Amino acid sequence: MSKAVAPENPVPSHEVEDIEPVKGQAVAGKTQIAIARISDDEPLVTRKELWSYYLYYNGDNGVGPNGYSMTLFQALATAAGFDPVKGLGSSCTADDASGQCVLPWGGGTKAVSSIVLVANGVSFAVMTTIFTTIGSAADYGTFGRWLLLVVTCICWGAQFASMSLTEPSRWGAAMALYMIGFITYGATLVFYAALFPRLARNTPHARYLREKYENGEVSAEEYEIEESMEKNRISNISTMHSNIGYIATLCLNLSLLLPLNSNPKVNNYVLVFTNGYWVLTGIWWFIFQQPRPGPPLPKGESYLTIGWKQIWLALKQYKKLPFTFIYLFSFFLLADGLNTTGTLISICQNDKFQFSFLKNTYLGLSQAITSTISTLGFWYIQRYWKISTKKMFIVTNVVTIMIPLWGMIGIWTDKLGFHNVWEFWAYNIVFGLFQAPYYAFSQTMMAELTPPGYDNMFFGLFGLSNRASSMIGPNVIQAIIDNTGDNWKGFPFLFALCVCASVTIWFAVDITKGRRDAVRWAEENRYSAEFGNAVDERDSLDSKSKGHD
């Protein structure tokens, strides 16, 4: 297959018009739409490789590090705490308990709910450091390949070590292991997602589409639509596999939870069993993954500093990638609101169901089944009617931002607003129906707006927006809970955060223009991967010669 040749001097985005190129050439009077080049050096995606990619996500479904670990940590902390109304030595789980629970903390006391939120906030701060420091470095050489393996193994180790958490006095160790597992789990999601754009560009169907475009058989507009559909296909199928793994893991866990329900160590057994499932399904990716290395690390650069330099380079040129950065900033706030909302509801749910792994498993199954159905349903609807990624994202978004609004009702009444058992069932079903597609479409939108060849750098920033964004929410909410003693008082702040971010994405992000801007930016700066920050000098010269940016 012939290699697509990019123009020597790419045209700024504001000079571009939509055209129908013939064999890669511009039509008279119009400028060719910038299309990302594909390197023939990158191997075609094999069936084994694609299935191993799906299976990794099948096991990396979050049941352990994002669910059971937090429940175990909160349960041990609650068992070790005391009721502040009745005083030191009282039990938080007694029949006449006030409903509040605190632990000694920094010379005073702190609510268990606040401690859980602090653990989340610190975890997200550590993720931020990881994604900004070494996220971009994964675009060079084979560093990204080994980075995912290392963080995966650390997460596996933390989950297996949870077998030691059997006494309330070990709540501190439970907090540490939860944070290690949660941090590395978040990292696996980001570095796994960063592989997705490169895989999607090299599937047999993507290569076939590219060949038709280069031969002049389809227009640039048609190619963009079909390529976007291929990205959505990979993203939705991988998300579906994550949900299938979620179902499979929870069903398998019932084989332990039901017969061993009275065993005091059953929760520990379940965590180890859950992690074993991920090891069994995840190991194949590291066996069948084909090498697609990036350019060599520039001379004189370090893997610990190149990430910050690349991010600084991108930030300085944000005017050339306006829609990419608007999306990243807005999604930062949106993910902060939604992630913190999920954490707050989980805290309320754990209290309501008395930290029962069995009941949480049933609730998780309702979410997993609806997630699988909705992912397939949304993908079918999008494919059949050729609906854009952004419109699909908006549909999922409208419903999910209503979740913190519902929680707000619980401030004024105990009859609604996550005070009843049925509401947690309803929440898990609604979450499954709309949040699973939300994650798939948000990831595809990022892939659309990412400059080709800079996947890890921009997905690292996306990870900062998604997984590591929750530095604001948990800290604000835990302060509110400490001051009021009421978990529900945090929902108004989260609702406002979600609404502001959503409206910005809906009305200020143009995916089509953003995609073309990203391709041009990549072509203009591609040689910086070999010569470091030499792009700064070139950009300066270009600005002077053109008289504008």
Spell out the per-residue pLDDT of the chain, length 549, in tens. 333 333 333 333 333 333 333 333 333 334 456 676 666 678 999 999 999 999 999 999 999 998 899 999 999 999 999 999 999 889 998 988 888 899 999 888 999 999 998 998 899 889 888 888 887 778 888 888 899 999 999 999 999 999 999 999 999 999 999 999 999 999 998 889 888 888 888 999 998 998 898 888 988 888 888 888 888 899 889 989 998 999 999 999 999 999 998 999 999 999 999 999 999 999 999 999 998 887 788 888 888 888 788 778 778 878 899 999 999 999 989 988 988 899 899 989 998 998 889 999 999 999 999 999 999 899 999 988 989 999 999 999 998 889 999 999 999 999 999 999 999 999 999 999 998 899 889 989 999 999 987 887 788 788 767 655 566 788 888 888 888 878 899 999 999 999 999 999 999 999 999 999 999 888 887 655 444 443 444 444 344 444 443
The tokens of 418 are what?
């996550």
Q: For residues 13, 212, 233 and 18, what is the CA-based torsion angle, rounded to 10 degrees? A: 20
Question: Can you give the pLDDT at residue 25?
Answer: 38
Stretch (H or E) spanning 102: strand 102-105
Question: Can you give the pLDDT at residue 527?
Answer: 54
Domain ranges of the chain: 47-526
Cα distances (Å, whole numbers) of residue 478 to 87, 120, 279, 386, 397: 22, 10, 34, 43, 25
Beta strands in 128-282 (DSSP E): none
Q: What is the largest CA-CA distance in the chain?
A: 84
Question: Can you give the pLDDT at residue 24?
Answer: 39
**Is 305 within 8 Å of 297 (Cβ atoms)?**
no
Dist CA 35 CA 201 (whole Å):
12
Classify domain 47-526 by CATH number: 1.20.1250.20
**Is 151 within 8 Å of 467 (Cβ atoms)?**
no
One-character DSSP codes across 398-417: HHHTHHHHHHHHTTT-SSSS
Task: Supply the pTM of this predicted model.
Answer: 0.76
| Residue type for position 170 | R
Of 84, 398, 382, the C-alpha closest to 233 is: 382
Q: How many CB atoms lie within 10 A of CB 139?
A: 25
| Residue type for position 62 | G
